[in-house]
Structure 1
Amino acid sequence: MNAADLSPIYDLIVIGGGPAGLAAASVASRAGLSTVLLDENPGIGGQIYRAITTSPVTDRSILGDDYWVGKALAAEARSSGAAIVVGATVWSLDPHRIVGVSIAGQTRLIEGRRIIVATGALERPFAIPGWTLPGVMTAGGAQTALKAQGLVPSGRTVLAGTGPLLWLLAAQILRAGGQIAALLDTTPTRNWLLALPHLPEFALSPYFPKGLKLLREVKARVPVHKVDRIAAVGEGKLREVAFGLDGGAERRLPADLLLLHQGVVPNVNLALAAGLAHRWNARQLCFEPVLDSDFGGSIAGIAVAGDGAGIAGGTAAAQRGRIAAMAAVRALRPEASLPDPQAARQRLQREEMGRAFLDWLNRPADAFRRPDGDTLVCRCEEVTARQVREAARLGCEGPNQMKAFLRCGMGPCQGRLCGLTVTELIAETRESTPAEVGYYRLRPPVKPITLAELASLPISAAERKAVER
């Protein structure tokens, strides 16, 4: 579909083609709403089900059973009658539910009577010395290459960080025939004290047997080191990974590839740009939208579903998408037949069991969330942790004022790679809290687009006459 083929108005616009977006589009379209799903990737699936319809990885055991669940979800959405548009970059969403979208260099503004933002999650910033060297990338990036292109890391590969995705990727690489030189576990030991009260619920959840199996699978074949400091070392490209624990002697491993990960956080940029209220989640250490029980936000007609509403995983995201879509249907077509909403809520509750244990156990260490010295924080504008701290000491009270001081957050990523780090650095330096400091104020376009794309926006006859005068 081209941008010109989009209708000017839909009952429901779903932004994001991951599990939440696919489930929402399917429910809404089957209930009779005119529905369009927009996703900027070449195919649907989001990150968790990346390339689910096109992956060259045919051995189902490599990516695991949980990945292939996405195939049924994608088929359900495709057969629902919803318009599914890939390669569509949504760069604007305003409080009046007007969406700016670019497809193949052409831009259109379309209106939704209801909007569901299903933009998923981002990997949490993990700024360590040398993290901008060629040869250092995120675990999520490596997993995307594996799912979409069947690419397996070669050479001396080191994984570092904390969280379930790190162990899952390690297992997937090993199953695909790759080798891992070491896994550097940055999980603070004291996290167990925070997590233990939630262990009984976790033990009853589906996460427990899956997690135990992953740990055993990886530890049987990969050396695992507990560490509290890491640095990527090299001139022009990665050569070594330096690490140590509790002030002990530094160790070094030769490495060709370092994959970093310390959890995921909601992708809130579009929701913030729309003006939805957000709050600080002290358990997950991130900002999340303020939502009601149907995942509706503070602006009427705009909902947020999936991990963008708070991290809970792929199967929970699908249930959230269904619940948000059912609320949209009830508002626009109350006579329509719908699945049992209570059943979806019960499944969601079951999928969220054990989440508290995982959140507390995998909280990234302070040192890895709040770097120091000349470690780059904002890659786009090359701003260091020392510069951010110095600006905060001079009186800079928040990230938006920091833009004027240092331009951090003003590059192509619009703060996605530095936002939480800058907030936490300011809060620590000023002895405040992230909730008080706040986050970047997002303005459209929230994704880079060209002037030619903006110029391609159609104008009305009246506007054309005004221009000609």
Structure 2
Amino acid sequence: MIRNIHSAIDLAPAYDLIIVGAGPSGLAAAVEASAHGITVLLADENESPGGQIYRAVDRASNADLARMGPDYAAGRTLIKRFQAADLSYARRATVWSVGPADEETGDGAHGLEVGISLGGIARPIAAHRVILATGALERPFPFPGWTMPGVMTAGAAQILMKSSGLVPSGRTILAGTGPLLYLLASQLLRAGVSVIAVVDTTPVENWRFALPHVLGFAASPYALKGLKLLWEVHRRTRVIRGATAVEAVGSGQFSALRVLRGNRSWDIPGDLLLLHQGIAPNLNLALAAGCDYVWDERLAAFRPAVDICGASSVPGVSIAGDAAGIVGAVASAHQGELAGLTAALDLHRISQGVYEQRRNELARKLARALRGRSFIEHRFRPAKTCRVPEDDGTIVCRCEEITAGKLREVAALGVPGPNQMKAFTRCGMGPCQGRLCGLTAVELLAQCRGVAPGELGYYRLRPPIKPVTLGELAALPHTEAAIIAVAGFVERAADSPQDH
């Protein structure tokens, strides 16, 4: 049975495997690895397992399940398997670092160390292997007015629906691109929300790039689901396709969405605007751990460099699910299983023959789950004008209130990359650590310099990647090296004079 851990004091000094994130990939990795006798700790920030896609599904009512759809309800099966597994689970835990084990405090057998805060106490926990299953983040969608009250992301609205059953009460407008835009619209409509319009900013020319992949999409489970979803939304609300730009209008509060389509412009009055422009891998912990990454032109985002089993460039660290590249819930679970299985092989808990047989089985399931993804990625790739704001007054970094114009001014000085631009402007230094501005800032700089984003790279991230309180730091074990670093000496009772 699962062991719930509520304080960092109750964590073991070391585990065979530490998994970060309790979404589909993290849960599946934990189940697979624990089945082979590995000591597993799964650490997650949320109150209950499931991640974003299966958030609160274990306590959802029948009405909630009907509103959210069958893909959401499918998460219950995975969570039940997880709850029956022999492993440790730390909910409401913050993982703020992953790196090589401390040579002074480590036991020499565990190569990695994970910084975890739980119950107001921080601890460095040793591990043989680490699997990062940190999921994805909504892509930034900067345009004039996107930071005003009355504007929020589609993901935030979905969190409120799943965790608290809260839905908008006024006239609601959705804008952006991607399957989630239509999924949320259908969920809101089922909940009785007044969705007055869905404004689709997907570039029309995307069809040209998506058509070569249409046969694979037609043979995938996505096709029928997608058609049903589109039919439901089109039947129940107004859908505006081909929007080339949008602007939030209001005097201190959102009151209308200004839509531009070609040379035509008009306003749609509303009380709430929900934005979505696809998702991108959540890189911060992987980059802070030193994992290599690449620019994926098809995703228009950076992603970690991993092999089919999730192994990264850092020995012992694997990455699975949407954290490694956007693949969806079912494929994320199979990637998690592959990462958990590989950890069992690396720790000599299964033979090479058993591993290869199970790996081949999971690889076939993963290939089926990925069928149709190429079409989706090409079809819903967000427009460049939506990723990089043309208006200089548009805020890019919400934390530090840095505009696109300010970034262009600094880019004109010849800064070589986003880290130097961050030093000049503080863009990416706020609480989000670049999660809400990183992609925009890099693409804007690349545009100004006339190079590909991959040539510039991403922000250089160092731990802690999440806020850690002074109290938590004070609770960390005081090693000799740490004391010397602060005090300059270590007082030893055995060899110190009595009256010193």
Q: TM-score, normalised by structure 2?
A: 0.91
8 Å Cα contact 2:38-2:349 kept in structure 1? no
For structure 2, which runs of at least 5 residues remain unmatched after alignment?
102-111, 493-500
Letter in 1 for 2:367: Q
| Counterpart amino acid of residue 209 in structure 1 | L
Find the residue that maps to 1:220 and give its secondary structure.
helix
The separation in 2 between residues aligned to 1:6 and 1:17, in whole angstroms, is 17
Cα drift, residue 376 of structure 1: 0.2
Please give the alpha-carbon distance, in whole angstroms, between the structure 2 residues aligned to 1:230 and 1:99: 43
Q: Are the equivalent residues in 2 in contact too, given 1:57–1:147 (CA < 8 A)?
A: no
2:475 is matched with: 456
CA–CA distance in 1 between the matches of 2:57 and 2:120? 26
Q: What displacement does 1:153 show?
A: 1.3
The residue matched to 1:116 in structure 2 has which SS?
A: strand
Determine if contact 2:97/2:116 at 8 Å carries over to the other structure. Answer: yes
TM-superposition CA deviations, 1:411-463 (whole Å, max 9, x none):
00000000000000000010011000110001111112222221111225897
Q: Distance in 1 between matches of 2:481 and 2:443?
A: 49
The structure 2 residue matched to 1:238, chosen from 247, 254, 261, is 254
When the two chains are superposed, the root-mean-square deviation of aligned CA atoms in Å is: 1.5
Cα distance change, pair 353–335 in 1 and its aligned pair in 2 (3 A): closer
2:59 corresponding residue in structure 1: 54
Distance in 2 of aligned mates of 1:467 and 1:398: 42
Indicate which of 200, 205, 212 corresponds to 1:197: 212
Cα distance between partner residues in 1 of 2:142 and 2:481: 51
SS of the aligned residue for 1:242 comes to: strand
Q: 1:247 aligns with which of 260, 263, 275?
A: 263
Write out aligned runs for 1:44-443 (5 A): 44-56=49-61, 58-96=63-101, 97-226=112-241, 227-248=243-264, 250-335=265-350, 340-372=358-390, 373-443=392-462
Q: 1:367 to 1:463 in 2, by over 3 A?
A: closer
Contact 1:122–1:265 (CA under 8 A) maintained in structure 2: yes
CA 1:335/1:359 → structure 2, altered by over 3 Å: closer, same or farther? closer
**Code of the aligned partner of 1:378:** C
User: One-letter code of the match for 1:181?
Assistant: I
CA distance in 2, matches of 1:24, 1:234: 47
One-letter code aligned to 1:215: L
Where does structure 1 lack aligned partners over 5 or more consecutive residues? none
| 1:154 shift after superposition | 1.2
Q: Tell me the secondary structure at the aligned position of residue 72 of structure 1.
A: helix
Measure how far apart 1:60 and its partner are.
Answer: 2.3
Q: Is the 8 A contact 1:55 1:149 kept in 2?
A: no
**Distance of 2:481 and 2:342 partners within structure 1:** 37
Larger Rg over CA atoms: 2
User: Structure 2 counterpart of 1:351, which letter?
Assistant: A
- For 1:445, give the aligned amino acid: P
Q: Is the 8 A contact 2:480 2:490 kept in 1?
A: no
Aligned pair count? 468
Take 1:442 and 1:401, find their aligned partners in 2: how far apart are those partners?
13
Question: Equivalents in 2 of 1:435, 1:320: separation in Å?
Answer: 25
Assess if the C-alpha contact under 8 Å between 2:36 and 2:349 holds in 1.
Answer: no
Cα displacement (A) at 1:104:
2.1
TM-score normalised according to structure 1 size = 0.97
Offset at 1:57?
A: 6.2
- Percent identity between matched residues is 51
State the 1:468 CA deviation.
Answer: 4.9
